Amino acid sequence: MGKHSGLSKQKETSVGNKGPHPVWRGIGCLMMVIVPAISIVVGNGIVKYALDNHWRLPPQLLGYPQLPDIIYKSSGLKTIFIPLARIPNLYAYILASIICIFLISTVISFIYAVIYRMANPHRYGPLDAPPPKIKAKKHSR
């Protein structure tokens, strides 16, 4: 047997990480569905509460939405947009839902950042190069 004959029979080991755990991908996928659904429900509740308590809302957001004339000329667009045009205060619901999406996402990101900071992961991974050890010289003028 030769000196290097055993090298070709060694198993190759994977060094890299193959991405996040599938559970985290599933949670992220669910969050993409859950956060908008929750924000739509909360946004509708906020608008209904505001209307019941006579809060001053911009008049452009209230009432039925006005559709352009091109939608009435096309049968395909008409079947899609006419049911939406029959929803009162649609613009207020949409705006409140977008604001809720922003707020819920901000809170979730903040909580994630706090938990990630408390877990204190290593600064450098196994494949990272060590930081350079360079001492800067002071230059006086």
- Residue spans per domain, the chain: 23-119
CA distance 50 to 61: 12
The predicted-structure confidence for 103-135, as pLDDT tens digits, reads as follows 999 999 899 888 878 877 777 777 888 778 888
67 close to 85: Cβ distance less than 8 angstroms: yes
CA distance 123 to 39: 35
- Nearest Cα neighbor of 36 from 92, 115, 94 is 94
- 3-state secondary structure labels for all residues of the chain: CCCCCCCCCCCCCCCCCCCCCHHHHHHHHHHHHHHHHHHHHHHHHHHHHHHHCCCCCCCCCCCCCCCCHHHHHCHHHHHHHHHHHCCCCHHHHHHHHHHHHHHHHHHHHHHHHHHHHHHCCCCCCCCCCCCCCCCCCCCCC
The predicted-structure confidence for 7-59, as pLDDT tens digits, reads as follows 555 555 555 566 667 777 788 888 899 999 999 999 999 999 999 999 999 99
98 vs 138: which has the higher pLDDT: 98
